[in-house]
Amino acid sequence: MIRLALETATEACSVALQINDELLVRRKIAARGHALLLLPWISELLAEASLDYGRLDALVVGRGPGGFTSLRIGLGVAQGIALARDLPVHPVSSLDALAESQAEDIDSPHLLALLDARMAEVYGACYRATPSGWSRQGEEFLAMPDAITLPQPGPWRAVGPGALRYRDSLSSMFRIEDFVEGWPDATALLRLADRNPAVSAQQLEPTYLRDQVADTGR
């Protein structure tokens, strides 16, 4: 199986190429840099593996939520490649990918994944630990930090740029034992791909959560 994964929902831009059990990766924290990095990285990874687009079996892409501009860049590139090669695309929640970044360190039974949504809000989702990894509880949400409702009292681990930005207010409201830096990543998308049914390029849609999408400059 040869799959290409793209994650651009946040300031963290990453591309991963899976060739069976081999994994080639490019990643960088680069606000506003996604458009410049994405296509050159894809070309580099394919050249490194001595492959071309015709050898791809599928694509995997972070479908959000996230920054409008950066998310649109990744989805646009994935859609263009998929249309040109008639490839299926696995759309994966960027919040699920953020939770998956903690898959090897499941100490707390509950995880709160938060991305900074600007406008004093966060994109978030709640997860519980299972033998197969983190399982999402409820729907993804957009909320002000002080309006978040958690399904269990805790203890919780909080991960992501939204968790770090609003650490003080979250600590005063919830039993959170650890705040962890983390980002959605293309390698996490690949690990989650088979849990998310593939769609055609024409069916690929972003998840913004915010009804009126404003360009935040990301």
Q: How many CB atoms lie within 10 A of CB 66?
A: 31
pLDDT tens digits for 48-83?
999 999 999 999 999 999 999 999 999 999 999 999
Tell me the C-alpha distance between 39 and 15, whole Å: 9
E strands present in 47-202: 58-62, 89-92, 110-118, 121-130, 133-143, 156-159, 176-180
The domain that holds 61 is classified in CATH as 3.30.420.40
| Number of domains composing the chain | 2
Same domain? For 38 and 85 the reply is yes
Phi, psi of 198 (to 5 degrees): -75, 150
Identify whether residues 80 and 107 lie together within a single domain. Answer: no
Q: Is residue 106 part of a domain?
A: yes
Cα distances (angstroms) measured from residue 180 to each of 17, 85, 101, 183:
26, 39, 10, 10
Q: Is the pLDDT of residue 162 over 60?
A: yes
Model confidence at 135, pLDDT cuts 50, 70, 90, reads very high
Is 212 among the domain residues?
no
Q: What is the pLDDT of residue 66?
A: 96
Integer Rg of the chain from CA: 17
pTM across the whole model: 0.94
pLDDT score of 106: 65
C-alpha separations of 123 from 53, 110, 212 in Å: 33, 17, 15
Name residues whose C-beta falls within 8 Å of residue 171's C-beta, 6 or more positions apart in sequence: none
Rounded mean pLDDT of 6-11? Answer: 97
Domain that holds residue 191: 2-93+184-203
Compute the distance between CA of residue 91 and CA of residue 71 in angstroms, rounded to an integer. 12
User: Do both 89 and 106 map to the same domain?
Assistant: no
100 pLDDT above the threshold of 70: yes
